[in-house]
Structure 1
Amino acid sequence: MFILAAEDPATPDAMTLMAALSARLSQITGDPGTSSFDADDVRGARALFVVARDAAGALLGCGALRPMTQQSAELKRMYAVPGTLGVGSAILAHLEQQALALGYAELCLATRRVNQHALDFYAKHGYTAIPNFAKYAGNPVSVCLSKRLA
């Protein structure tokens, strides 16, 4: 069982999870991904940061929604502690449900081409490649994905 709750990204637990994500991304891609995240982007109206815990309160993962347009939001800081089966899928499903409740019709994200684990994960959940957007446009190491929400 996973408990998913909204939390400010500046809390110690959120910071712990994002630091673990940054360390993992550095291993995989050579970049921690921190330059692509601003905590203020996932605060406020139509934005969300969530932390996943087990029943005992142990940290399991995190993820966020950043508003892009009236119809679309960007997934940010998606992370599941290695070895925690189903946590990433639970966080993603929760964020997709919350995005619908917030009025979004589409979720987008960017990752690095070398992050095959992320590419496989999102493909398994119905995300498909789109032209690179915003700061990722023209960047050959990045790949952008999206999913229409139903």
Structure 2
Amino acid sequence: MPLYFDRVDPATPEALVLLDQLSIALEVVTGDSGRASFDAADVRGARALFLLARDHDGKPVGCGAFRPISSTVAEVKRMYAVQGGSGIGSRILAQLEAEAKAMHYQEIWLETRLVNQVAVRFYEQRGYVRIANYGKYIGNAKAVCFGKRLPD
């Protein structure tokens, strides 16, 4: 299935529907919706973005974003695919990586909950390696952080 990507504001109605679906799914799996870890303003800047993935009919099927942590590191936020296991998530992540590379980032980092083993395996299978917890995740035993160096 072909996917098309649009840069949108995370406050658009289509984005809000996906973000709500993600929050509900995270609440079920981890006991935390993740809403407190996402500030839409963080993905509106010049070196940040929020992507909406659409299927061939234009229907939103997923989203993902990143924000700058430093001049060389971007942090993935709010990755979500409507149909798990369909390859949509992999393609969203690959698009985020390509966009981050185009913005001259050298690495991408992210955090997920350790209990969310589906997400942990997803990132490990795509070349992400565990890194020391950073920022607000330092000392949080429920959090696991990952990083990936972007190719030159």
Query: Normalising by the residue count of structure 2, what TM-score does the alignment of the two structures yield?
Result: 0.97
Is residue 71 of structure 2 the alignment partner of residue 70 of structure 1?
yes
Residue 106 (1) aligns with residue 96 (2): no
Tell me what 2:38 maps to.
37
* Inter-CA distance 116–74: structure 2 relative to 1 (3 Å threshold): same
Q: 1:137 to 1:83 in 2, by over 3 A?
A: closer
More displaced 10-residue stretch of structure 1: 53-62 or 33-42: 53-62
Residue type matched to 1:69 in 2?
A: S
Question: What one-letter code is carried by the residue in structure 1 that aligns with 2:15?
Answer: A
CA distance in 1, matches of 2:84, 2:20: 17
Q: For residues 60 and 35 of structure 1, what CA distance do their matches in structure 2 show?
A: 23
Alpha-carbon offset, residue 77 of structure 1: 0.1
Match of 1:61 in 2: 62
- Given that 1:60 and 1:84 are in contact with CA atoms closer than 8 Å, whether structure 2 keeps it comes out as no
Q: Which amino acid in 1 is paired with 2:56?
A: A
| Letter of the structure 1 residue corresponding to residue 123 of structure 2 | Y
> Quick check: 1:80 aligned with 2:81?
yes
The alignment of Structure 1 onto Structure 2 pairs a total of residues equal to 150
* Residues 121-132 of structure 1: pairs in structure 2 closer than 5 A: 121-132=122-133
In structure 1, the gaps of 5 or more residues are none
Find the aligned partners of 1:28 and 1:104 in 2 and give their Cα distance: 31
Q: 1:28 — aligned with what? A: 29
Which residue in the other structure is 1:147 paired with? 148
Q: How far does residue 55 in structure 1 lie from its aligned partner after superposition?
A: 1.1
TM-score (ref. length: structure 1): 0.98
Matched, 1:4 2:5: yes
Alignment partner, residue 96 of structure 1: 97
- Cα distance in 1 for partners of 2:85, 2:108 equals 24
C-alpha displacement of 1:82: 2.4
